[in-house]
Structure 1
């Protein structure tokens, strides 16, 4: 065998007959073949390819090395079909893959002038495809390729966006292989689906692929996003995003992150094109049904209605000059059920702001008396004039920040406790807003002691000497990572979904064994997410305590529905 590996001609028929004797001696059993031949052959194979790989990894470029590896795997498979027993194929290929790919994965992918980064940079699609073919064979091989994808340098967009773009390109390429090279064969569609499901359901730098795909959409659809595309290219790319989503198990998590980002585009006027927003919702609805997009569609509709509502509010103020608060006020009334959950607070507004809220409440009650308004101050923005010694500067701030700054109209100096008691804010929110005003880039307030952290013993004064070359500045609050909250909300929704699914199944079937109930539950829910068996078991136990189900007294693995 080693002679043939080195290119010599051997008598394959003779070798096949000799190896057949091992099977015949064992009367069809594989014991003699495995113990007296296969074990030694596999050990020799590992040693042979270990020697070869140690030379090739030094001498060859990444593409050349992959060509040799692919050729070796092909030849070893050919040997099995010609003279080795078919049972040797998996074990033999695993040995070859281990020595050629697993052992040298990092060195191969990280080769300075020809590794994965260079292939991405130079758009070497054929070599990248070969890399995919090779590494999808080995355990966690694609994860390592994916990590290099993510780290690859790119002139446009964040690393995450580059990764998603490359995944979409890879999907395009392999879909073309299936349709053009493999005659649309269903087996190849199945293999591609399985490979991409594994690939697309990993975490990259702490982010799920569902979140990365939602962020990629955000960069396409928002003003100033990193994906600069024409209208036709946007439509084509959105089609590909929807196709990519098919491989992601946690579609509900994608929907949650997408809604979060959609809300920011809509509320802060960051959406580049309303038609594109509706276009992707149409595509998602066609693919995953109306329930998947109903909340998102409701959000878009809410904004249209909010604009009409604002026009009516302006008319109301024009006709009631006494009610006009003397401040330009824009209010968006949204439907709670459509939008992501936001933190509301009992912020005590300064008198200047109280009048605005009261006027809008009076207007809204002329339209309906049966709806309750909950103000989400954490999403508001305010434009206020700061009168400093050098000049007046317009400050664009959040409502929390504006409320704090307006307190200094009545007092030159305030303690942390004074501000907290007057605003009625939680410590977390108060610390964030005071940091933004006294410790960050724009020091509108001076703090005592003068350090970069805010504590409950600090005192604050309006910084009358503040100046800036701009006449209008935006003062952001410190960033809060909302990922954890989104994931927690999705987990909560999943519990409700599992409960509803179990009850629906049991209501229809009346009696079911545990395993069948779990399998039916997984089958029904897997369109949106892949439920964990432990989670289903926990929900079953909870439904038993709430008298929706009961265990059969004679067979505890059998459940009955309680009407």
Structure 2
């Protein structure tokens, strides 16, 4: 037996075999103790036996022998052959795995790894040769490469299962490429070979890009979908997504460029924008469908922007030939929104859109204001234009501040322009006041007539009909919306005092004749004007409302006074509106002979008024009065709502027998009315439509002559008991317009002088430029003043000794106390 070997078959030594060492004890000898064998101990775990420097001699037929390695590898090599041939079965998988494990434990892992990689390489090279036989057609290369990858993945999984112990115990420990990495590298290097221009990999990428092109054009074969998905999975597994992405982006850029060129040929910017927007959507869907990387999606969008926006030809197409102006004219909000978003992806879109935007606003607005033929529909068209442009700014341009400012500037420019042959800029303020007046008198139903006979009338009718179907609440909201739009246009007016003059004139008629559709609407509009321009702007108009309310109280007091009580038994009911002359417009004193029994009531009220208000006197203005008469016809009793002039004419017939014919000259003598007023009254009573024709004219004609004769139309019939007969109104003449404008100019001069006095009284000493700026700012609520008007006011105040110039030509002024 060798010296370094241990005989594990010998018996356990006993006490007699164990040498003893002497011991010395100072005490008595202890009682003899029972000794235990040094070997196994009863009731304890067995001890581990460690043999040092034990070397085993390998056997010629053991696990570590060369013969065992050759035999085992032969089995493994046969298994690899069957795997590569596709004839492998998994019934011997366990024994193969144990063989690999035995070789690895016998320190033969490097040799096993080397032989395995060699066999894998040989097989991949053979696959490459098979793929090359397909040829150079990318369409054929894609399915073949995808098929071979599928097969190789399955084979690689079997190899990894058999050689799993090699992978875990040797490759990972030595930090060598795993079998999976080796398999991917072999396929990527030998089959795809992306480093060379004419490689299979480049053909594969080209063919896959062709399939994506077919997918974009809806011409792709549904069977190719699985091939594309599997190919993309292969690309990600092989970690070659970056080179594929580059090829994909290049092919996509070419496709986008062709799309842009094709849409440019149509000449339609709307179609061009729609195509660009659809591309953004479709490419996003494509990336989602095939699980492409987020970077690919962003780069695809960049390519679309480059071809549809950044490219010089694209910019020229978008900005040229008034194409943007065409979209604005068509109010194509969707296309404009797409254009704004398309430009915003590259850079701020306002500089590109602003020129066309300003040109369209100025051209369209000036065309509307300068259209004398359709003047009646001017305000409607301006409001509709403003509404459309506001919708574009909000819905399409994301409330862009630059474009919003351009919109305000454009409107402020053309609403204050002078029309050809008209030196003043009073057209829009005057017509805006008339527009509000019509709405106040007729409500939402007036929209149809306000729009005028143009191509939009059908749309207006439908809009009005829709509003009317909403009931009272819907109509009130629509009316409020119209007033808000009018106020929006009012803000652009430089001559707000012109609007005030015409609005006050129309308001007076509505209040006196009770023609307002809603007093709440009147007060609402007054509140808007007060909030916009201040209480000084609406002071006179608010006084008008107060006069109407005070007049009602005054009439009630009159009827209870000693002057009115004697008349309480009369069948005549008297209503008087007492107007403050300073607040109300001036009305002409038209002569009119009032019947005696009515004049008695007027005189009684005048006496009552002068007795309660010393120093004042009553001046009757019958031209703005109205009356309600009760008339008896063959069809029955009717109530007629008339003007004072119409009532006076009808009352004349009470003095004649029933059926008598009264001449025009007799009527003129009995009423004392001037010819224009008398003829208009007779026309409204005898020449109007049958539902209001209470008089008959002989001979029948539309015009009234001095030779005509009139009689009561006893056969008059109407379904209504109370009938309103409107007086024929004369259109506002040019002379009346000019008189109103002239009064505005005179009032404006007084306002300027008053503002100069207030400024100078506060500052005492100012330069001319400072006075102009201060006065313009002080009067901005009533409109924009001209510098020349302020300078003229300074000179007039100098002549009145309110201010004086410090030095001749020094343009510095002091206030004279």
The TM-score range, normalised by the shorter chain, is 0.5 to 0.7
Of 588, 593, 599, which aligns to 1:343?
588
Please report how far the alpha carbon of residue 317 of structure 1 lies from its aligned counterpart in structure 2 after TM superposition.
Answer: 7.9
CA separation in 1, counterparts of 2:789 and 2:729? 33
Find out whether 1:263 has 2:508 as its counterpart: yes
Counterparts of 1:427-466 in structure 2 under 5 Å?
A: 427-441=675-689, 442-455=692-705, 457-466=706-715
- Summarize deviations over 1:85-138 as a string: whole Å, max 9, x none: xxxxxxx99x99895379x97xx888xxxx45xx69xx9985999999734236
Question: Contact (CA 8 Å) 1:551, 1:557: kept in 2 or not?
Answer: yes
Q: Which residue of 1 aligns with 2:365?
A: 143
Q: Which residue of 2 aligns with 1:326?
A: 571
- Summarize deviations over 1:120-163 as a string: whole Å, max 9, x none: 9xx998599999973423684232675899999xxxx9784464
Find out whether 1:493 has 2:730 as its counterpart: no
Of 697, 721, 728, which aligns to 1:478?
728
Please report how far the alpha carbon of residue 491 of structure 1 lies from its aligned counterpart in structure 2 after TM superposition.
Answer: 3.3
Please report how far the alpha carbon of residue 399 of structure 1 lies from its aligned counterpart in structure 2 after TM superposition.
Answer: 0.6
Change beyond 3 A, Cα 1:286–1:224: closer
CA separation in 2, counterparts of 1:477 and 1:400? 9
Find out whether 1:197 has 2:412 as its counterpart: yes
Change beyond 3 A, Cα 1:495–1:366: closer
Of 701, 704, 718, which aligns to 1:469?
718
Question: Contact (CA 8 Å) 1:149, 1:166: kept in 2 or not?
Answer: no
Q: Which residue of 2 aligns with 1:46?
A: none
Q: Which residue of 2 aligns with 1:294?
A: 539
**What SS does structure 1 have at the residue aligned with 2:650?**
helix
Q: Which residue of 1 aligns with 2:783?
A: 529
Question: Contact (CA 8 Å) 2:361, 2:411: kept in 1 or not?
Answer: no
- Summarize deviations over 1:324-345 as a string: whole Å, max 9, x none: 5431222222222223333332
Question: Contact (CA 8 Å) 2:430, 2:499: kept in 1 or not?
Answer: yes
CA separation in 2, counterparts of 1:494 and 1:188? 35
Please report how far the alpha carbon of residue 167 of structure 1 lies from its aligned counterpart in structure 2 after TM superposition.
Answer: 2.0
Q: Which residue of 1 aligns with 2:557?
A: 312
Change beyond 3 A, Cα 1:219–1:453: closer
Change beyond 3 A, Cα 1:100–1:483: same
**What SS does structure 2 have at the residue aligned with 1:394?**
strand
Of 356, 370, 376, which aligns to 2:621?
376
CA separation in 1, counterparts of 2:717 and 2:418? 43
Q: How many residue pairs are counted as aligned between the two chains?
A: 471
Q: Which residue of 2 aligns with 1:134?
A: 356
Please report how far the alpha carbon of residue 546 of structure 1 lies from its aligned counterpart in structure 2 after TM superposition.
Answer: 7.7
Please report how far the alpha carbon of residue 266 of structure 1 lies from its aligned counterpart in structure 2 after TM superposition.
Answer: 3.2
Change beyond 3 A, Cα 1:194–1:405: same
CA separation in 2, counterparts of 1:60 and 1:271? 52
Please report how far the alpha carbon of residue 307 of structure 1 lies from its aligned counterpart in structure 2 after TM superposition.
Answer: 2.5
Q: Which residue of 2 aligns with 1:424?
A: 672
Q: Which has the higher contact order (CA 8 A, sep 6+)?
A: 1
**What SS does structure 2 have at the residue aligned with 1:225?**
helix
Q: Which residue of 2 aligns with 1:11?
A: none
Change beyond 3 A, Cα 1:532–1:127: farther
Please report how far the alpha carbon of residue 294 of structure 1 lies from its aligned counterpart in structure 2 after TM superposition.
Answer: 1.0
Task: Structure 2: give runs of 5+ residues left out of the alignment.
Answer: 1-262, 276-305, 341-349, 446-466
Question: Contact (CA 8 Å) 1:381, 1:396: kept in 2 or not?
Answer: yes
Question: Contact (CA 8 Å) 1:349, 1:423: kept in 2 or not?
Answer: yes
Q: Which residue of 2 aligns with 1:249?
A: 494
CA separation in 1, counterparts of 2:338 and 2:679? 52
Q: Bigger shift: 430-439 or 413-422? A: 413-422
Change beyond 3 A, Cα 1:335–1:520: same
Q: Which residue of 1 aligns with 2:429?
A: 210
Please report how far the alpha carbon of residue 558 of structure 1 lies from its aligned counterpart in structure 2 after TM superposition.
Answer: 9.5
Task: Structure 1: give runs of 5+ residues left out of the alignment.
Answer: 1-55, 69-73, 81-91
- Summarize deviations over 1:451-484 as a string: whole Å, max 9, x none: 32223x3232213444223354322222223485
Q: Which residue of 2 aligns with 1:282?
A: 527
**Cα RMSD (Å):** 5.3
Please report how far the alpha carbon of residue 262 of structure 1 lies from its aligned counterpart in structure 2 after TM superposition.
Answer: 3.2
CA separation in 1, counterparts of 2:703 and 2:373? 34
Q: Which residue of 2 aligns with 1:7?
A: none
TM-score, length-normalised on structure 1? 0.64
CA separation in 1, counterparts of 2:473 and 2:438? 10
Please report how far the alpha carbon of residue 291 of structure 1 lies from its aligned counterpart in structure 2 after TM superposition.
Answer: 0.4
Q: Bigger shift: 531-540 or 257-266? A: 531-540
Change beyond 3 A, Cα 1:66–1:204: farther
Find out whether 1:401 has 2:646 as its counterpart: yes
CA separation in 1, counterparts of 2:524 and 2:770? 40
Question: Contact (CA 8 Å) 1:296, 1:338: kept in 2 or not?
Answer: yes
Change beyond 3 A, Cα 1:535–1:132: same
Change beyond 3 A, Cα 1:221–1:440: closer
**What SS does structure 1 have at the residue aligned with 2:641?**
strand
Question: Contact (CA 8 Å) 2:328, 2:360: kept in 1 or not?
Answer: no
- Summarize deviations over 1:59-80 as a string: whole Å, max 9, x none: 6668459999xxxxx99x9899
Change beyond 3 A, Cα 1:158–1:553: closer
TM-score, length-normalised on structure 2? 0.47
Question: Contact (CA 8 Å) 1:222, 1:265: kept in 2 or not?
Answer: yes
Please report how far the alpha carbon of residue 237 of structure 1 lies from its aligned counterpart in structure 2 after TM superposition.
Answer: 6.4
Please report how far the alpha carbon of residue 403 of structure 1 lies from its aligned counterpart in structure 2 after TM superposition.
Answer: 0.9
Change beyond 3 A, Cα 1:253–1:466: farther
Change beyond 3 A, Cα 1:530–1:342: same
Question: Contact (CA 8 Å) 1:306, 1:332: kept in 2 or not?
Answer: yes
Question: Contact (CA 8 Å) 1:164, 1:216: kept in 2 or not?
Answer: no
CA separation in 1, counterparts of 2:543 and 2:371? 36
Change beyond 3 A, Cα 1:504–1:527: closer
